Amino acid sequence: MNSLILTTATRFLTPLILALSVFILLRGHNEPGGGFIGGLLVAVAFALVEKAEGVEAARRAMRIEPLVLAGIGLGCCLAGGYWGGIVHGDFLRGIWPWYEEYGLPVGSILLFDLGVYLAVAGTVSAILFGLEEAGHAVAGRDD
């Protein structure tokens, strides 16, 4: 696709959507939102780049192989689980090391949610990019 309007709008929209996704991720603690929806928003942002400028540009913008991103996300989830296991002896136990002192609701649960965020973003992007490339491959064969 080659649309000036879409390409220009993408320049503005992509950072906005990415910022929104972080907001949604953090808001998900007690209100609607969370890692899954945030991750989908990240995938939407890169899907927009992909539609406007092509898969190559989207992959460049992502800077990292989507499935590796998903792997890092799963790794964060597991690390969140291990954290409780190491500190408390119970796998997946919620740990809040800075809450009592500073009132920061940051801990193993946020790490887990961040993992979901990255895993969803990576997986959905991998599927979208893969489909786009497969489509190109088929179209190329037809020509």
Partner 1 sequence: MLLVWPIALPLSTAVLCLIAWHSPRVQRALNAAGSLGLLVASIAIITRVLDEGPVAAQMGSWPAPFGITLVADILSAAMVLITGIIAVACAVYGWAEVGAGEERNGHHALTQALLGGVCGAFVTGDIFNMYVWFEVLLIASFGLMVVGGGKAQLDAAVKYVGLNLIATLAFLTGVGLLYGAAGTLNMADLHLTLAGRQGETAIFSAAAMLMFAFGAKAAMFPAFFWLPASYHTPSVTTSALFSALLTKVGVYAMIRAFTIVFDTSEPAIQNTLLYGSAITMVVGVLGAAAQMHVRRILSFHIISQIGYMILGLAIYTPLGLVGAIFYLFHHIIVKANLFLIAGVIGRSTGSEELTDIGGLWKRKPWLGVLFLIPALSLAGVPPLSGFWAKLLIILAALEEERYFIAFVAVLVGFLTLYSMSKIWMEAFWKAHPGGDDAAARPASYWLYLPIITLALMTVFIGLNAQPFVEAAFASAEQVLQPDAYIAAVARASEAAELGLTFESPAASGVPAEAAPTPVEPIENPTGPPEPEDPLR
Nearer to partner 1, 19 or 134 (CB): 134
Interface segment toward partner 1; rule CB under 8 A; list 1-9, 42-50, 51-59, 85-93: 85-93
With contacts defined by CB under 8 A, name the span among 36-44, 45-53, 55-63, 98-106 that binds partner 1: 98-106
Minimal distance in Å, beta carbon 52 to partner 1? Answer: 26
Rounded CA-CA distance 63/33 in Å is 26
Nearest 5°: the CA angle 15, 24, 76 is 95
Q: Which of 54, 17, 21 is nearest to 38 (CA)?
A: 21
Positive or negative torsion for Cα 116, 127, 46, 70: positive
Whole-number CA gyration radius for the chain: 18
Amino acid code (one letter) for 12: F
Site membership for partner 1, residue 65 (CB under 8 A): yes
Name the residue nearer to partner 1 (CB basis): 38 or 122: 122
Question: Rule CB under 8 A: which residues touch partner 1?
Answer: 29-30, 65, 67-68, 70-72, 74-75, 78, 81-82, 84-85, 88-94, 96, 99-100, 105
